[in-house]
Structure 1
């Protein structure tokens, strides 16, 4: 869309008549159009003129882009009540699209920018890992490949079990839950990424059992053999539905391989991810919100 339109000729077809452009549109009309655009589209239009910039700042435009329970999300995102009270709806949207840590920094949520849908990541340090306190089996290792800057690394164990839970007022919708895992120990040497595979064993003998349960009786179960060393992979556990954001939904999840006829090792556990179902995680968009 261009920033202007052609001149409107006078009644005699001669030039010199007053030129009109997009900037001459009433701000209220522009705002009505913006109600049908996604947030990045609104931000792009805001660059066209002062009128578009004013319309793009309207609270009634941005309130339609926010989740129904945005006040609850804002409460989780910040403890500064004075600051929250002074934010416009546009600023609230931008605030919630950023990384919002909670529960001692072991969990985070954010809104994806295009539709304002909730995403969540739960660190390995918030999970209940069998044997995590015994350094013969597990260690936390620092890495730049995790949003939380460390992962739990398994050298060897007989009984493998990684459980967790989250209780949260999710906006209504269907969500998918994943474990983010990596076979092998990633590191860097001479600025190059390398992967140590010396401890990888046992995952091709029996599949891992993934499960989730919700407080309203939903259950999902899946089995998968772990493979593809050297790559971070999101293993899909299952989906769950949220009908209302007024009541917290408790989600419990589990990952097990407890066949004690063989040991398992060489695995990094980074996090558990909860995304809106159908979100194209592999898409890397260069668009940004200039809020």
Structure 2
């Protein structure tokens, strides 16, 4: 009778297809669609959990990525591995953080501060490096609590709230006039035929200053392509970023408690463009700048 059995669960006659057939169809969709399909019926739920589906959603080089992991990645199924990689893991000796974009399975990377270009970064009177070895396991529930670290420098005493750290160290700007930071990543590591955006991930110390207007210059370069935009890490204290609307470009609070600001975007075609170069500088207005805390540079797909 109509309305009973498989049809009563909303799948209709398609629910009578062999499970491997349903799995093949789901593997041609997206991770998000597959999860939604699992709600249709028991047959769809079983098919949507199969290794054949989630193997298709993983990047083709996922075995290589796992071999580059700092710590072994444990999983009991391909589906579990997919969602494990949707959280960040450290790779390449901790120089990079890797994760999958949850809804599409495309690759995201973050460059650690030590692998970035930070002008005067090795001069202790200008920048300070804070080691947080316990923060490398970002999946430890205790890290959901705010970690307070008090550092004392000649200018003042800052209280810094650090949440959801990916790397063992962060870079803290003490005081510079010439501000110039950046980094690069091989586009072969990224998903092909994908539009990416580059972001600086940061926080502010409680007494930061000099990081608002006039704006900083953000740049992204890949091969012959180059973009430059004006951005402001901070407003001017009155809630204003300046007169140029570009200075307000996508600065937001992240779910992990850090801030990010978009530096620009690029299209990764076949992965043969070389290194993607990202930068942020303020070298024209030589006023003092202080209180920036850098977690890294992230590249992730535009959704």
TM-score by length of 1: 0.69
Alpha-carbon spacing, 1:26–1:153, altered in 2? closer, same or farther (3 Å): same
Q: How big is the alpha-carbon RMSD for the aligned residues of Structure 1 and Structure 2? A: 3.6
The runs of 5 or more residues in structure 2 that have no matched partner are 133-161, 238-251
Is the aligned partner of 1:118 residue 2:107? yes
SS of 2:209's partner is coil
Report if the CA contact (8 A) 2:199-2:261 is conserved: yes
Match in the other structure for 2:181: 162
Q: Deviations over 1:118-146 (max 9, x none)?
A: 11111222212112222221112353343
Q: Give 2:293's aligned residue.
A: 268
- Deviation track 1:53-100 (CA, whole Å, cap 9, x = no partner) reads 2563152x3354334xx22x43033259xx99x997646634543423
SS in 2 for 1:148: coil
* 1:109 to 2:131 alignment: no
Distance 2:301 2:44 in 1: 34
Is 1:219 matched with 2:226? Answer: yes
- Matched position secondary structure for 1:62: helix
Secondary structure in 2 matching 1:140: strand
SS, match of residue 77 in structure 1: helix
1:256 maps to 2:253: no
Aligned residue-pair number: 244
Deviation of residue 176 (structure 1)? 0.6
Q: Who is 1:38 aligned against?
A: 30
Over alpha carbons, which structure has the higher Rg? Answer: 1
Map of 1:12 onto structure 2? none
Segment drifting more, 226-235 vs 204-213: 226-235
Q: Quick one: which of 93, 102, 109 aligns to 2:82? A: 93
> What's the TM-score once normalised by structure 2's chain length?
0.66
What residue number does 2:245 align with? none
Unaligned 5+ runs, structure 1: 9-18, 186-195, 280-291
Which structure features the higher share of helix residues?
A: 2
